[in-house]
Amino acid sequence: MKLLIPALAISTWAAIGSALRIPSTSSSGSDLGHIATIDELKPGLHSPRHFNRLEQRNDPEFVEEFNVQTSTPELFSSLIERLRRRVQDRDTLSHSLPVLPPQQNPPNRWFDLVLRTQSQAMRFRIRMDNLYLDGYRAEASDHWYEFNPDPGQPQLIPGSALLGFRGGYPALEAAAAEGHSRTTIPLGRQQLINAVNSLARSRDDDHSTRARGLIVVIQMISEAMRFTRITTYISDAYLEGIIPDGNITGLENGWGRVSAALLHHDQNPETFRLPQPNPMHIGGVADAIAVLGMLLRYNINGGSRPRRQVQALIPEGRPLVEILWVVIDNIDQENPGDLYGTITATDSVGTQDIYNIDKANPQSIRPRDPVALSGPSRAISAADSFLIDLNLMDHDSDPSPEDEVSRGQIDWNYYSTGNLYDTPIHTAIKGKYGQATVNYIVMSNAAEAVVEVVLINGDNENPADIFGTLKVTSRFVSRELFNKAQKDSISVRPGESIPLSRAVMAVPLDDTLVVRADLWDYDPVSNDEVAKGVASLRPQVLHSTKERIRGQYGEVEVRVTWS
C-alpha cells in the first residue's frame, strides 16, 4: 500500500519549530529512545488559554488508503498500527506507549483516510492530536460534510455542508434514531463496507443512515487507534462482525481519564488515579497499559524540570466539573410548585445523582428558587465528555397529569473547539410546563476536595448539642455545609464528624478553600460558643490538610482530603 505524504506536511513541521523537535525516524517509524524536554512538552490541552493557536491549515499531513473490500483481519490490524506510528509524537512515550502530539485550538493538523469498497471510495478527515473525526467526502467529489459546530463556532473545513448533528456519541446516537446505538450496531468488515457505501449514497436529509455509518467508522478507526483492546476485539471477529459490549463502550468513554491516570503515574509511581471500580474494568497500571494503543496529550504546568520522559506531560490537578446551582425559572405558572424528579451527571466513571426527590415527598419551590441539590458524591470528571440530565416534574394533588417542568440534557463534547473553561456557564433546560437553569463550571486544573468537620471539644460535654452554620467558599463555590437552628440541634461526641451536605467539591489548584464556622452548643440556660472563625486550606493533591477553629467554649477541626 502506497503512503502519500504531501510536501506541505514537511513545511508545517518546520514552521512549528520550537513547539516540537522532530527526530530522524528509523525504518520502524518510531524513535523510542528520545527523551522530551520541558519546552517540547509545554503545549497544552484543556483550557483555550492553554491551547497553541497556530494558523489554521486545511491540507492533511498525510493520506492513507485502505481497501475494505479485500481486507483481512491482519490487514485491518496493520492499518491501525501504521496509523498510530504516523500520528504519534515521536519525542514522547509513557509506559512504552506512544503519546499524541499537543492539541491545538482551532485544530490545524489532520490526516485523511480513504476507505474503498468495490463501488465507492470515501475520504475521512481525522485530527492528528486526538483522533476526532471532523468530516468526510466522496473521493470523486470536492464536497465535504462536517459535524455541526457549537453555536458561534466556525466550521473547520472551508465550504463544507453541515451534517445536521454534532459528532459526540450522544448526538450521533440520537441522530441514528431509536434502537440504534453503539451497543446495537455491529462492527466488522461488512459493516465498514456498508458504512462507506451508505455514506456515499445517502441523501442530505437522511441523518439516521449517516449517523449509523459514522458510528461504525469512528469506532473501527479512531477508537481502534486509541485502544489495542478495541483493535483486537474487532480484528478477532472482523469477518463475521461483533456488537460492542459494555467494556468496549466504557473504554471509548474514558480514554482521556485512563490516559491521565498513566501520565499521573509517571509523576508519582506510588498512585494510580483512576476510581475503583470503573466501567473500563481497569484495576491498575498493568491493566491500562494492556488496553491502550495511544495516550491523549494533557495540559501541563510551566516550570523547569530535568529531562525525563513525560515528566511534565500533565498538570498536578485534573479537569473537573462543579454544578454551582440549579434554579427553577417556571414551574407550571405556580407559586409555589411541588418539585420532584432527578438530576444526574454522567462522566467516564459512571452516573451519579445530583438531585433525586420522590413524587411522594416533593420540594415546595417558587420561581427563581434554587433546587436543593444533594450531590455529587465524587467530583465530576471533564477529562472526557460528560452529560448532565434533568427530568423534573411538578406534582399536582388533583387528578390532572403530572406536569413536566424540565427535561433535557447538557451534552459536553470534550472535543468541541468552543468549550469554555474556568468560567461559569448558564444553560436553560425547558420542559412542557416550565424551565430550569443550570449554572456549572468546567475547571481546567482542579482537585477534588472532600470536607470533614470533626468536633474536638463541645463545651466539655459528651455529647454536645450542636447547632449553627458551616459555610464553604472558593473562587467559584459558595454553599452551606451545615445549617441547624437551635431547636434542631444534633448530638455530636468529641472525635465525631458533624454531618455535612454536599461536602465534595472541585477547587482550582491556584485557589483557596475557606470554611467559616459559627457553631454553638445548646444549653437550656445559656448557649455556648463552640467554634467561630475561618479555616483556609490550599489544595494539596493526594494529601490531607487540616486546620482548627476555636470558640469560647470549644473547638472543631476542619479536614480536607484532596485528590
- pLDDT tens for 329-347 read 999 999 999 999 999 999 9
| pLDDT number for residue 53 | 43
| pLDDT number for residue 313 | 63
| pLDDT number for residue 545 | 98
The helix or strand, by DSSP H or E, that contains position 11, with its residue range, turns out to be helix 7-16
Write down the architecture of domain 445-562 according to CATH.
Answer: Sandwich (2.60)
State the pLDDT confidence band at 56, using cuts at 50, 70 and 90. Answer: low
For residue 165, what are the CA distances in angstroms to 158, 204, 255? Answer: 18, 12, 23
3-state secondary structure of 497: strand
Rounded CA separation 442/450 (Å) = 18
State the pLDDT confidence band at 178, using cuts at 50, 70 and 90. Answer: confident
- How many other CB atoms are there within 10 angstroms of residue 536's CB atom? 12
State the pLDDT confidence band at 58, using cuts at 50, 70 and 90. Answer: confident
| Range 549-553 average pLDDT | 98
CB 83, CB 98: distance < 8 Å = no
What average pLDDT does the structure give for the chain?
Answer: 89
Beta strands 425-431 and 434-458 are antiparallel
Q: Does position 39 have pLDDT exceeding 50, yes or no?
A: no
| Range 526-549 average pLDDT | 98
| Range 255-267 average pLDDT | 95
| Range 254-279 average pLDDT | 95
| pLDDT number for residue 307 | 32
| pLDDT number for residue 23 | 32
| Range 84-95 average pLDDT | 95
State the pLDDT confidence band at 100, using cuts at 50, 70 and 90. Answer: very high
CA angle 195, 200, 206 (to 5 degrees): 80
| pLDDT number for residue 302 | 31
Rounded CA separation 61/109 (Å) = 7
| pLDDT number for residue 17 | 34
| pLDDT number for residue 402 | 81
CATH number of 7-291: 3.40.420.10
| pLDDT number for residue 220 | 99
This prediction has a pTM of: 0.87
Lowest mean pLDDT among 43-57, 352-366, 526-540: 43-57
Residues 6+ apart with CB under 8 A from 11: none
| Domain span(s) for CATH 2.60.40 in the chain | 318-444, 445-562
| Domain span(s) for CATH 3.40.420.10 in the chain | 7-291
Q: Does position 280 have pLDDT exceeding 70, yes or no?
A: yes
State the pLDDT confidence band at 301, using cuts at 50, 70 and 90. Answer: very low
Ordered alpha helix ranges (H), 22-107? 38-41, 73-87
Task: Enter the DSSP assignment of 220.
Answer: I
The helix or strand, by DSSP H or E, that contains position 252, with its residue range, turns out to be helix 246-253
| pLDDT number for residue 336 | 96
Rounded CA separation 528/102 (Å) = 58
Q: Does position 170 have pLDDT exceeding 80, yes or no?
A: yes
| Range 131-156 average pLDDT | 97
CB 136, CB 145: distance < 8 Å = yes
The three cell numbers of residue 264 are: 499521573
CATH number of 318-444: 2.60.40
For residue 323, what are the CA distances in angstroms to 75, 420, 541? Answer: 47, 15, 21
| pLDDT number for residue 315 | 80
Q: Does position 389 have pLDDT exceeding 90, yes or no?
A: yes
Q: Does position 203 have pLDDT exceeding 80, yes or no?
A: yes
| pLDDT number for residue 57 | 61
| Range 502-521 average pLDDT | 98
3-state secondary structure of 74: helix
